[in-house]
Structures are given as structure tokens and as C-alpha cells.
Chain A
């Protein structure tokens, strides 16, 4: 995967959490995700298509997600509340939208988000696209942004 796709996500996740939650986020060293890596409790997933295609996953342990959603919505919501998934989905929507705006000259669309809630689940993307895990830390706990995208099949290849 083109490494230049990662920086926009780092900037965007910091911007979204700082602006909407007043929550600073510290970024760790991005790493390639491997099969069998530890699972997630809450995942918000969004697809990208157009000049860039693939998926973005925002994943949390349950306790972290509950704290973050409470900050975001101003209400204490348990993970099984219907509005909980809506809030987590909106976070991945803003992160992905903010990141794609930083892909110069690319026309990219994002899907409506999906949210998975379930202890220690795995999210698998396309086998032919490397997934990069961006570890994030905050006062609400640790979480990850997993980016698995590549140049879209329909867009012309550029010399590099």
C-alpha cells in the first residue's frame, strides 16, 4: 500500500477527536496487520471507492468505546444501545471523509458505515491489499485505525 495514504488518516483521526470530543490522540508506530492479531470488541467499518478503494476500520475495546461515545454524545450509552453504533459509525465517517480530502487529485467516495459489536471479533479485508494498523492512545484508552486501501482499479496508473 502507498505509505502516503497513511498520513491523512493520522491527521484526520487527531482532528476529529480534538474537534468533536476535545480529546487529544497520541499516535503510535503504524504496523502491518497480520492474521491472528488480537481482536476487537467494537469496530466501525467504511468502504472507499473510486480512485482509491478499500476499507477503513476504527476499532476499540468496549470500555474505551463506551467512554468515547459518552464524550461524543454527552450521554452514557452502553454498547448494546442502538445509538451507540450510530455514534461509532459517525466517527469513522468523519475520519475517512477527512482523510480522503487529503488525497490530492483523487476522486473518492465513501460508503455509509457499518458497525460490529461483539467481544474479540476479527475484521478481514481484501486478501490482496495490505492492512496498516495505526495505534492510537487517548485519555479514554487505546484504539486502532486500520487502513486497507489501494489505488482504484478504474483510475489510471501513474508513474512513480
Chain B
């Protein structure tokens, strides 16, 4: 499975990479903001995206809207510090499939990934 990690923090991308690798996902691509992600999705063709919200140049919410406008149906999990209910609703409306609030444990992120992929497969 090809997974793209979109987060301006290299530390957070590395933490997510470690968790994904332990789960058996090793085909990974990284992007440091929404613009970078948009420039890479065409070549990489991700099957799952983990997307931060607050990023420079293009934030995660804008990226999700633009990605969906392009017709992509690939599942997206937003992984963010934005924990308010209104933000979660806003993200879901924009096309996010699942939501993880930072800080998170490896178990929680793993569960959300499995849950998201199971929902898509159903």
C-alpha cells in the first residue's frame, strides 16, 4: 500500500513513518505542505494519505478540497492538533475520511488506519 505523509514537521513525519513501517506499510512518500503534496500525488498515486492541518504555503484543509476537486477518492486521514468539534466537522465536509488528534499513541494511529481502510473496502 502506498501512503503519503503530508506534514510540515519532519519529526512528525518520522514518527508516522515508524508507526506505518511497523504496520507493514513501507511504500511511503513525504510532502512538507499542501502544495508539495499536490505536486507529488500524480506521480506517486497514493492509496492512503495522512494530512496535517496547519502548514505553511497550503494548509491541509485547502489541500483536501483541491485534491477532491481533482476527482481523487483516495482515503484521507487528517492528523492534526485541531481538536474542536467544529474543525472535525469542517474537515469531514471537505472530504476527510477519518481524524486523529495530536498527540496520539502508535496504537491509536494504527487503529484509525485499519478502520479507515476497512470502511473503504466495505
Q: Are A110 and B81 in contact (CB under 8 A)?
A: yes
Chain A 87-114: CB-based contact to B (< 8 A → 1; otherwise 0) = 1011001101110110000010011100
**B85: shortest Cβ distance to chain A, in Å?**
9
- Cα(A83)–Cα(B13), bound, Å: 12
Q: Are B10 and A83 in contact (CB under 8 A)?
A: yes
Asked if B55 is at the interface (CB within 8 A of a chain A CB), the reply is yes
CB contacts (< 8 Å) of A98 on chain B: these are: 81, 83, 102-103
Q: Are A72 and B11 in contact (CB under 8 A)?
A: yes
Contact of B103 among A20, A110, A111, A112 (CB under 8 A): A20
Residue of A nearest to B9 (CB): A90
Q: Are B103 and A93 in contact (CB under 8 A)?
A: no
CB contacts (< 8 Å) of B82 on chain A: these are: 97, 101
Q: Are A19 and B14 in contact (CB under 8 A)?
A: no
**B107: shortest Cβ distance to chain A, in Å?**
11
Asked if B39 is at the interface (CB within 8 A of a chain A CB), the reply is no
Interface of A is mostly: helix
- Cα(A93)–Cα(B82), bound, Å: 10
Q: Are B10 and A97 in contact (CB under 8 A)?
A: no
- Cα(A131)–Cα(B82), bound, Å: 24
Residue of B nearest to A84 (CB): B11
- For chain A, the count of residues having a C-beta within 8 Å of the partner chain is 23
Interface of B is mostly: loop
Q: Are B55 and A112 in contact (CB under 8 A)?
A: yes
Q: Are A16 and B103 in contact (CB under 8 A)?
A: yes
- Cα(A83)–Cα(B103), bound, Å: 19
**B91: shortest Cβ distance to chain A, in Å?**
14
CB contacts (< 8 Å) of B102 on chain A: these are: 93-94, 97-98
- Cα(A87)–Cα(B10), bound, Å: 8
Q: Are B11 and A15 in contact (CB under 8 A)?
A: no
Asked if B41 is at the interface (CB within 8 A of a chain A CB), the reply is no
Chain B 72-106: CB-based contact to A (< 8 A → 1; otherwise 0) = 00000000111110100000000000000111110
CB contacts (< 8 Å) of A110 on chain B: these are: 54, 81
Asked if B8 is at the interface (CB within 8 A of a chain A CB), the reply is yes
CB contacts (< 8 Å) of A72 on chain B: these are: 11
**A114: shortest Cβ distance to chain B, in Å?**
12
**B111: shortest Cβ distance to chain A, in Å?**
15
**A24: shortest Cβ distance to chain B, in Å?**
14
Which chain B residues have a beta carbon within 8 Å of chain A's beta carbons?
Answer: 8-12, 14-15, 18, 54-56, 80-84, 86, 101-105
